[in-house]
Copies of this chain bind each other. A is one copy, B any other.
Amino acid sequence: MLKTLFGRHPAGSSHPVSPATRLREMAGSTSADKAAAMLIGPAALMQLSQDDARIVVSYMRPHRIPQGTTFIREGDADKTDFMLLILDGEVTVETIVVSRSEPITLTVLGPGRLIGEMGLLDGEPRSASCTATTDVRGAILTREALGKLLDDDPRTAAKLMMAISLRIAVRLRESTDKLKMYTQLTQAMQQEINRPTVL
């Protein structure tokens, strides 16, 4: 399932490789360049430099997901040890609400967005299901690779963690906005329900 196109020394390698060597071996890979560019944005206050991002990418593995594949399932407590950076394509994030047969779409994520970063950190069961709605090309960072990056280059690991925190924070802000909207909506609906019927 996991190929190792970003450089010749993926995180699983048994012999130590310096970040500089990793960078040299990754030279010329446009996928790696794209992954690095996407790790840098969106604007953060303490940002990964281009070189930092390329070091992170040298610990990642390219991954392709065919259209229609549900690759993360809500409630799944296994396989929570990786996150995916979307390079190309679109992923629908859905939740199964008990009273409905159709899943409800929480959000649609495109290039530059992370998936599974919360599970990578806390190992909790997946909070939603993710389905590739187009063919998806991405880059995977496993928990093991993150641990190795922390050992090899703690400063870059720290800046990566800031980038990840920032993305989780962006999603939390979006979610808070939706909650505010729902609070208003249910209040308006409650008034409608309570309105006396004029005969």
- Residues on the B chain within 8 Å of A157, using CB: 154-155, 158
- Residues on the B chain within 8 Å of A127, using CB: 173, 176-177
Q: Does A1 contact B (CB under 8 A)?
A: no
Question: What band does the interface of chain A fall in when counting residues whose beta carbon is under 8 Å from B?
Answer: 35 or more
Copies, count: 2
B97 x A184 contact (CB < 8 A): yes
- CB-CB contacts of A89-127 with B at 8 A, as 1s and 0s? 000000101111000101000000000011011111001
A180 x B95 contact (CB < 8 A): yes
A158 x B150 contact (CB < 8 A): yes
Shortest Cβ distance from A169 into chain B, in angstroms? 4
Q: Does A69 contact B (CB under 8 A)?
A: no
A179 x B178 contact (CB < 8 A): yes
Shortest Cβ distance from A172 into chain B, in angstroms? 5
- CB-CB contacts of A188-199 with B at 8 A, as 1s and 0s? 111011000101
Q: How far is the CA of A123 from the CA of B170 in the complex (A)?
A: 11
In chain A, positions 143-199 with a C-beta closer than 8 Å to chain B are 143, 146-147, 150, 154-155, 157-159, 161-162, 164-166, 168-173, 175-180, 182-190, 192-193, 197, 199
A99 x B45 contact (CB < 8 A): no
Having A117-B169, A164-B165, one finds 20 other A-B pairs with CB under 8 Å, namely A44-B121, A45-B143, A46-B146, A46-B150, A95-B180, A97-B180, A99-B188, A118-B173, A121-B162, A121-B165, A121-B166, A122-B169, A127-B177, A128-B176, A150-B158, A158-B158, A165-B168, A168-B169, A186-B189, A192-B193
